Amino acid sequence: MSGAYQRLKQAIAGEPLPLALVDLDALDRNFDRLLASARGKKLRIASKSVRCPALLRYLADRAGPAVIGLMTYTAAETEFLASEGWKDLLLAYPTVQPSDLQALVRANQHGTAAVAVDSAEQTDALSVAAAAAGVSVPVVIDVDMSYRPIEALHLGVRRSPLRSAAAVVALARRILTSPSLRLHGLQAYEAQIAGMTDDNPFKRLLKLLSRPQVERRRSALARALAAEGLALPLFNGGGSGSVSWAAGEAALTELTVGSGFLASHLFDHYRDLQLEPAAYFALQVTRAPTAGIVTCLGGGLVASGEAGPDRLPLPALPPGLKLLPLEGAGEVQTPLRVPAGTRLGLGDPVFFRHAKAGELAEHFNEYLLIRGDRLESRVPTYRGLGRCFLG
């Protein structure tokens, strides 16, 4: 049986299953690699890809000034993190819901909690809420970075409608007219590069073709705003999948990194990223239906995104286990084909990896933090704290 399996098995001996764990040694190494790839550019940690306050704190403390703050994913979460003492937050996803706007206003009473906008409607709603509370809210304009070799072809995500520098300048001017808003910066996330794996030649080509356009457009945006006399403190871009490339871009003041820390299994398929699995969930073997197959209790932790087999959890340790194509990862039972030479008895743990880094935390109240073959501590996830921000 592999050394990695024996080590993790030893670390969780006697713990009731299922459980979720973080391998701190692997997390530290991932952290060091990502930090080195950023080549001095400041990092902003995507909280959606961690969803555990103690781990966010662990990463930020380890980085010191290299991490400037967090990229958050809901207004309620932003307020929660602000109340926990985080001073530099950026909510990357716009909202007009009144309760969200109130939460953002309150978050700004603790520190800087900026929010992304991409329309006049969002901007005006925020302006009214901030004015009513007598608070100034920093605003970041979110710009679409999809690859559009011709106008009719859109290769990327569907988020912001803002594409041209003129449209961004027009929204910037509108923000400047509001006494309760502060124009804080730009956000321009190249999802078709950072969020797409290199597992087929078409994707690889798309990424290569898209890069120069993204770089040109981000630098043109910075120039257009400078020409308006607007020197903005923040220009955010990048993601775990593009950190080493985006680090070279002069226009960006900071890079977002999230999933790369825990290295969920979708991140195995990036050519330029050398990361190690740092988060697992462990299930118990409860049945042996026939020779060469064991069945675990639980397992159906399927990830978001375009539905497909890559969203299923990956049985990782012991190595060589395979899901059965007709059953996949089940709601309560997950059968696995066991390779020759591997012996798993009833009660033994099997370690799985989730496809996405943050979503694992939605299924467990705590992470067991492992160092070497020892259980160092246990820390609550958002779920364990009774916080469910998006589900």
Considering beta carbons, is residue 63 or 282 the nearer one to ligand PLP?
Answer: 63
- Interface residue with ligand PLP, options 46, 52, 70, 183 (CB under 6 A): 46
52 touches ligand PLP (CB under 6 A): no
Considering beta carbons, is residue 140 or 294 the nearer one to ligand PLP?
Answer: 140
Quick check: 262 and 50 in contact, CB under 8 A?
yes
What are the angstrom distances between the C-alpha of 47 and each of 132, 339, 372? 29, 37, 26
Where are the strands (E) in 205-291, listed by range?
A: 234-237, 254-257, 279-290
Half-sphere exposure at residue 325, Cβ-oriented, CA atoms within 13 angstroms: 0
# of chain residues touching ligand PLP (CB under 6 A): 13
194 touches ligand PLP (CB under 6 A): yes
- Interface residue with ligand PLP, options 239, 313, 315, 349 (CB under 6 A): 239
355 touches ligand PLP (CB under 6 A): no
- Kindly give, in sequence order, each residue whose CB lies less than 8 Å from that of residue 128, ignoring residues fewer than 6 positions away: none
CB of 180 to ligand PLP, least distance (A): 24
189 touches ligand PLP (CB under 6 A): yes
CB of 243 to ligand PLP, least distance (A): 8
- Interface residue with ligand PLP, options 240, 244, 253, 295 (CB under 6 A): 240
Considering beta carbons, is residue 257 or 323 the nearer one to ligand PLP?
Answer: 257
Quick check: 89 and 112 in contact, CB under 8 A?
yes
CB of 80 to ligand PLP, least distance (A): 19
156 touches ligand PLP (CB under 6 A): no
State how far the Cα of 374 lies from the Cα of 323, in Å rounded to an integer: 29
69 touches ligand PLP (CB under 6 A): no
What are the angstrom distances between the C-alpha of 99 and each of 88, 180, 186? 21, 18, 24
CB of 2 to ligand PLP, least distance (A): 28
Show the tokens assigned to 160: 């912001």
Site for ligand PLP in 90-109 (CB under 6 A): 92
CB of 203 to ligand PLP, least distance (A): 15
State how far the Cα of 315 lies from the Cα of 299, in Å rounded to an integer: 9
Binding to ligand PLP by CB under 6 A, coded x per residue (else -) over 251-280, reads -----xxxxx--------------------
Where are the strands (E) in 99-187, listed by range?
A: 112-117, 137-142, 181-187
3-state secondary structure of 192: helix
CB of 256 to ligand PLP, least distance (A): 4
CB of 51 to ligand PLP, least distance (A): 11
State how far the Cα of 366 lies from the Cα of 51, in Å rounded to an integer: 11
- In three-state form (DSSP H/G/I as H, E/B as E, the rest C), the secondary structure along 288-326 is EEECCEEEEECCCCCCCCCCCHHHCCEEEECCCCEECCC
Where are the strands (E) in 143-193, listed by range?
A: 181-187
Stretch that binds ligand PLP, among 1-9, 197-205, 250-258, 296-304 (CB under 6 A): 250-258
245 touches ligand PLP (CB under 6 A): no
Quick check: 130 and 84 in contact, CB under 8 A?
no
Q: Which residues bind ligand PLP (CB under 6 A)?
A: 46, 49, 92, 189, 194-195, 239-240, 256-260
